[in-house]
Every structure is written in structure tokens, then in C-alpha cells.
Structure 1
């Protein structure tokens, strides 16, 4: 188990050694998320390699490296045939470093991070006959700081819209950890933190993953090639 500072130090040591670039780590992380999703896709037989093909998938990307992971996830899902809808928190043109590289590689459309945009995507999924809408939470990861109500409230409104009779069930995948929690302490950083059905983290679990409020969430740890 690694704290935020320990995880960042492990990544920095690997990058500074020249063994791997930050973008390569991001690519491995995104690929690992998609692989974990494919194995657990709601309604899937567990055999189909790309059970998301033809389905609308919502990817929420933040303004940093966690968002960069999200753009990698979006690109790889689209390459597998998914109808990926990306909504960006903040202006993607202001992304820096590896996250900007991931955004540029995505090349797909990016919409606004608003309740109306989210609910419109859910309504389209209903019209398509989908039973589930898979939502990827790639907003902040381990680096989040509160308060985050302005971020979590629109997503909460989307969940309420879906559960209020739309006939569409949410399945949320958190990249590193759900938005609205401190990775070291488990402290809630919003009045309504986001829920995850599946959390995919990298290299090692973080302290928050072992806390009681996450015991009902499946956790997958992806090896991204950092030294043990």
C-alpha cells in the first residue's frame, strides 16, 4: 500500500531513471483500465473481447494526469468500437505535459462538463435501447483536494436522472479512486462523493482503498511497470 507521496516518488524515480516516460505510464494505465472494464462489463458474457462495441460510454476527464488517463481510456474504447462521449472539466487546450499528449492522441469530440450534457447522453443511450451506461470517472485521481461539490453535483444529478425512471442503470468505473475522497485519509471532499462499482488503481493500493466505505467496491490493481 502506498500513500500519495510514495506513489508519486515511485513514478518520478522510474521516469528520472530513463526506464520509462510519463506518457508510457499513462498509456499502460489507460490500457489496464480498459482491460479491467472489458472483463467486468455489465451484461457481458465475460468472453467477448470488446463487449462495449456499439455502446455509448461516457468518459469524464479532469484537468490533470487523471484526465490524461481518461483520454487514453476513451481512445482505446473507441478503437474497440465503442461510441465514446468525452466531457471535459475545464478547457482541454490548457492541459500540460503527458495529459496534453493523451488529449491530442484522442482526436475525438470533447463536450462540456455539465448536467445537461450528461443527461442528454443518458437519454440517447436509452433511445438506443441500452440497459446500462458505463461512466468512467477520470476527474482527479489521487491528487484531489476539496471542496469538490461543483464537480460531484452534476454527476450526482446524472445518476438521479438515470435512477428516476429513465430505465438506464449506471455502472461507474473510477480511475485510481472515486472523485470526492482524499486518497490518504479517506476524508470526504464533497457532500456527495461519487460512487464506483469498479475502481482501477495502479501499481499498489492506496490507503483509501482499504477503508470501510470502499469494501463493497471491486478493486483492480494494474501493473504499469514500476519497480516493486
Structure 2
């Protein structure tokens, strides 16, 4: 039987590795971002053959930090990358803020431009909220995502850890109205989480792949 982890178990594993001196949080974030890019190219090999266009949606926590790593790596690959940040960059957690600063590009504020820019993207990256989310997605986020779903959709969508809005422990939506990002591919780390296999998880995650980040 495949072992499934809760969010608390995953945090404990990461924290133990950091406290042991084996790895830093910043290194884990870099490995996670690289794992996402590798998974995208494995799932869609055509994307690795030539530069394309990506829109990366970054949230106010470490999941957003993973997104900034993905944005930087795709830009280094030659892609055109647009980043939308929900939240105040000055309030990002330390590791996420480092990767925000390493992202040497323009960051768009959350707003109505998202729909027009994201709708024609070759790849949409959901790094808004991760496995620790235990509250509904804020209305101002969901309003833009709902409009995006109702109009031109990006060709491919990938979520980092879980689709935003999905509780990583239950596979449910705290808002109880299915305000969950729908993606084609979900990339998680170390082991699958309970929410990937429970309730709404399989429907909203698309294909879930696990990437090793050295834990």
C-alpha cells in the first residue's frame, strides 16, 4: 500500500531535515521548483524542445516561493514568463522572499489583467496555496479564476503540491462550493498526500506525480 502523508507529517519531515543540517529550506525550495519543471517536460516533451509562454500564479507563502523558482528556471530556458503575485512581497516568508528577489523580472499585481494574459498561455502554473491551506480560497482570487475557467483556457495547467483550494489532508474544499483550481498535472514532493487520493482530490489534481527532493 502506498503511504500517504498529512500536511503536518510532511512539515515535520522537512523540519527534521533542516534542523539536522542536511539541507536548508532554500535548497528544498530550489529542488521543488526544479522537480516541477522536470515533471512538466516529462509530461509534455514538446515544451522542452522550444521556448513557450507561461503564466505563474504565486501566493503569499512558500508555495508561492516554489512558483518563483519555476518562473526563473523557465525564463532561463528561454520562455516568456508572466508572474502574478497575490499578496505583499514584503510579507513573504524568508525563503520565498529570496526567490522573489531572485526572480529577475516584472511581477504583476493580482487583478483583471490575469484573464487576458493567462488565457492564451501554453502553461499555467498554480503556486498560490499548498497543502497547508485550511480555509477557503479568498474571493478575489476565485473571482478571477472562475472567469478564466469560463473563457479561453490555458493549454496546460500544473499545480505545485495540490491544486489551490484543495485541502491536502482531506481532499475536500473548505468553502464546500468546489472553489478548487482544476489542473491537468499536480506535482508533489517526497510522497503523495492524503488529499491527492481522497474525495475531490483525484478529480481536481489530474495526474499526480511525486518528485524526490532529497528527504
The normalised TM-score by structure 2 is: 0.90
The answer to whether the 8 Å contact 1:38/1:52 transfers is no
Secondary structure, in 3 states, of the residue corresponding to 2:108? strand
Determine the C-alpha separation between the residues in 2 that align with 1:148 and 1:212.
18
> Is it true that 1:111 corresponds to 2:108 in the alignment?
yes
Cα gap change, 1:52/1:206 in structure 2, threshold over 3 Å: closer, same or farther? farther
The equivalent of 1:16 in structure 2 is 19
The equivalent of 1:152 in structure 2 is 142
Match of 1:193 among 180, 199, 203: 180
Determine the C-alpha separation between the residues in 1 that align with 2:50 and 2:209.
19
Determine the C-alpha separation between the residues in 1 that align with 2:195 and 2:91.
30
Moved more, 199-208 or 87-96: 87-96
> What is the deviation of 1:161?
1.9
In the TM superposition, 1:61-76 aligns within 5 A as 61-76=58-73
The answer to whether the 8 Å contact 2:58/2:126 transfers is yes
Deviations 1:73-109 (A, max 9, x none): 0000000011000000012232121101111111211
> Is it true that 1:120 corresponds to 2:116 in the alignment?
yes
> What is the deviation of 1:140?
1.1
> Is it true that 1:79 corresponds to 2:37 in the alignment?
no
Match of 2:30 among 20, 27, 30: 27
In the TM superposition, 1:211-226 aligns within 5 A as 211-215=198-202, 217-226=206-215
Give 5+ residue unaligned stretches, structure 2. none
Give 5+ residue unaligned stretches, structure 1. 126-131, 164-168
Between Structure 1 and Structure 2, how many residues are aligned? 207
Secondary structure, in 3 states, of the residue corresponding to 2:200? helix
The answer to whether the 8 Å contact 2:171/2:201 transfers is no
> What is the deviation of 1:212?
4.7
The equivalent of 1:39 in structure 2 is 42
Secondary structure, in 3 states, of the residue corresponding to 1:50? helix
Determine the C-alpha separation between the residues in 2 that align with 1:197 and 1:49.
15
> Is it true that 1:140 corresponds to 2:100 in the alignment?
no
Secondary structure, in 3 states, of the residue corresponding to 2:213? coil
Deviations 1:18-57 (A, max 9, x none): 010000000000000001011223xxxx3x572461x221
The normalised TM-score by structure 1 is: 0.85
The answer to whether the 8 Å contact 1:57/1:134 transfers is yes
